[in-house]
Amino acid sequence: MDNKVPQQINDIVGDNVKKLAQLFPSAVKDGEVDFEALKEELGQYEEVGSEKYELTWAGKKNAKRIAQEDVIGRTLKFIPEDSKEADTTENLYIEGDNLEVLKLLRQNYYGAIKMIYIDPPYNTGNDFIYNDSFEMEQEESDIAEGVRNEVGERYIVNTKSDNRYHANWMNMIYPRLMIAKDLLTDDGAIFISIDDNEIDNVLKICNEIFGEINYVAIFPWRKRTAKSDVPYGISQDFEWILCYAKTTNFKCSIDGKERKYFTTEDFPEKPWRIHDLTKQTTASERPNSFFTIKNPKNGSEYPANPNRTWAITQETFEQYYQDNRIVFPGDYSFLNISKPALRYWKEDDMRKAGDNFGKIAVSTKLPDDIGMSQDGTKEITNLFSGKIFPFPKPTSLVKFLCKICTGKDDIILDFFSGSSTTAQSVMELNYEDNANRKFIMIQLSELLDKSSEAHKLGYINLCQLGKERIRRAGDKIKSEHPEADIDIGFKVFRTADTNIKWNSLMDMGQVDMNQLEYTPDLVDFMPDANDVDVVYELMLRQRDVALSETLEQLSDIGSRTYLYASSYLVCMETQITEEMVGKLAELDPLPIKFIFRDSAFKDDIALKDETFRRLKALIEKNAGTNKPTYTVEFI
């Protein structure tokens, strides 16, 4: 018995092999892919020629490899002083390179995100910075050529003079979209804002990652009305929003205008609505419906239009009139029908549509009031009383996208969060439809230009600006709507080095057991590590455990024993006793996993073995007929 908490967070290749085995069991043997058998399953009995239809560029293989690599020696550190209402909020703000963060979140949020919206750099020649592994001797040179983030990683600008200008951008976006797909629910989708610079490439990349069958639509978004000086004399007034689904289970719709239903003296038991009596057909197409209708009550005549006939024949009209189903102008004054067009009462079959009642398909033509760049600028300017950030997307645009594809409890992710437009949009939409959507914002702590208005106001990096916008936007909603019962808080995390000595010094025989009582923490943890950080790092290795869950200290058991999400017990006491194990076994409800420090058992192997067996048996008993997923582990 030696159940260790794994250092590995992701096994992306292994997960892919399992998916393949579910589709084609004969192609996976003892965990290994039989590629010949796989080709036969796909109907390919001969080698595909060297020339084939595919998307390729310099660095693509490396981009794929990076996407499949686990992230080792890194974690997410909780930053309570930057958080807001951390004890109750379900929202997250994470600072760091988004590829690293996406990998760190993959276990916790695998298949849990309903919608992803990203507004990545468009690769215009000065907006896209990327991590450069080459070192330079002078920091001043770094700053002149590009930027560093707060932990000293060097990011340089992707200029158009670079001979891998498009390839650099594709190498950046490809692995991030690969990981993002894993995070989506089966009925989830990703929306990507982009302009003309990379739309062709991102379409091809998404076709490869998500599959052409899961292409949903391209929404044209008008970003401005003012004309600008551009090559060839054509102003590029539109950008594009690409939508790809995780699977064909995705459905996109919006609430239709509320239909008005009436019960009449003639039809008291059924829901009816007023329907137009004309039809888009010509007289030559429907000659039996081309006639003049006369109102017997006042003699008014209504001739049919040769290009838009009546929807019924004269015989049907007579029957409808006898049934009091024809509505002439002036009838039923509460309907406010003043135009000379005729209507009739029609039973509404939409009531049979169940949950889809009132839902209509979404057009790629966005609503006229969706907002433009100038509206996004006005919004953030009003929040900060100054032009602090250039051309953010308007919240009306992001709210519309959220509205057409998310439910009231879904999670929305933005891993190029910028000034946090998406977070503000989610909070506002939650107020508007009384919902509890959650957001996860991810942003690199990119240094702001010292000449910018934001920097002059004291915001050193983009994360500081984004977090402050969320605070101000949330406070604004509450001040304007004190009755609003919405979550305006967020927990802040930041990428950091590991707190745990995964390569145990004890296993290497380099620790004197007699010294444990003097420096016990240095056996298991890095210097300056604290208990809360360790707990969160351990939780990154659990599937389906949100980082927004509660963390409580069980002081009646020990000073360093914690319960996360009411289900995961992490005991970091320096010494485990039989009395302590007894208290743990009496917890009700019983946690589904216990994590202990190996070093806390000292040399009492019998106690460690008994603790494992006792708690494991209790977990299995509580699990009943369900196979227990979690047991007892050690660090």
Domain boundary among the residues 336, 357, 378 is at: 357
pLDDT in tens, 540-586: 999 889 999 999 999 999 999 999 999 999 999 999 999 999 999 99
pLDDT in tens, 582-606: 999 999 999 999 999 998 998 899 9
Cβ(544)–Cβ(110) below 8 Å:
yes
Helices 60-68 and 12-23: crossing angle in degrees, nearest 10, is 90
What percentage of residues in the chain have a pLDDT greater than 70? 82
Q: Quick one: pLDDT at residue 258?
A: 47
Which of 595, 612, 448 lies closest to 524 in space, CA to CA? 595
pLDDT in tens, 143-200: 433 444 544 455 666 666 555 778 889 999 999 999 999 999 999 999 999 999 899 9
275: helix, coil or strand?
strand
Owner of token pair 């983030």: 149
Same domain, 249 and 396: yes
Question: Is residue 378 in a domain?
Answer: yes
Domain boundary among the residues 449, 474, 495 is at: 495
Question: Is residue 5 in a domain?
Answer: no
Same domain, 108 and 207: yes
Q: For the chain, how many helices (H) and strands (E)?
A: 17, 26
Q: Quick one: pLDDT at residue 254?
A: 83
Cβ(206)–Cβ(184) below 8 Å:
no
Total domains in the chain come to 4
Give the pTM: 0.80
Same domain, 346 and 390: no
Same domain, 473 and 442: yes
Same domain, 483 and 509: no
Position 118, amino acid: I
Residue 327 phi/psi, 5° resolution?
-115, 110
530-548 burial, b for 16+ CB within 10 Å, e for fewer?
ebebbbbbbbbbbeebbbb
> What's the pLDDT band for 130 if we cut at 50, 70, 90?
low
Residue 530 phi/psi, 5° resolution?
-115, 160
SS (H, E, C) 82-137: HCECCCCCCCEEEECCHHHHHHHHCCCCCCCEEEEEECCCCCCCCCCEEECCCCCC
Q: Quick one: pLDDT at residue 556?
A: 93
Helix (H) or strand (E) holding 317: helix 314-322
Average confidence (pLDDT) over 237-251: 95
Question: Is residue 267 in a domain?
Answer: no
Task: Flag the least confident range among 279-283, 301-305, 320-324, 348-352.
Answer: 348-352
Which of 372, 394, 398, 376 lies closest to 192 in space, CA to CA? 398
Domain boundary among the residues 461, 495, 529 is at: 495
Same domain, 454 and 600: no
Question: Is residue 264 in a domain?
Answer: no
* Distance from C-alpha of 91 to C-alpha of 491, rounded to nearest angstrom: 6
**Could you tell me which residues are beta bridge partners of residue 276?**
343
Question: Is residue 1 in a domain?
Answer: no
- Print the domain residue range for 321: 272-357
> What's the pLDDT band for 234 if we cut at 50, 70, 90?
confident
Same domain, 149 and 163: yes
Same domain, 421 and 565: no
Same domain, 460 and 490: yes
Question: Is residue 387 in a domain?
Answer: yes
Same domain, 545 and 428: no
Q: Which residue has the higher pLDDT, 16 or 465?
A: 465
Same domain, 60 and 189: no
Same domain, 480 and 369: yes
What percentage of residues in the chain have a pLDDT greater than 90? 54
Helix (H) or strand (E) holding 620: helix 605-623
Task: Flag the least confident range among 79-83, 151-155, 271-275, 303-307.
Answer: 151-155
Q: Helices in 406-520 by DSSP H: which ranges?
A: 421-433, 453-456, 462-480
The two three-digit tokens of residue 278, written as one number: 């004309």
33: helix, coil or strand?
strand
407: helix, coil or strand?
coil
> What's the pLDDT band for 422 if we cut at 50, 70, 90?
very high
Question: Is residue 266 in a domain?
Answer: no
Rg (CA), the chain: 31
Question: Is residue 3 in a domain?
Answer: no
Between vectors from CA 399 to CA 398 and to CA 402, what angle results, nearest 5°? 90
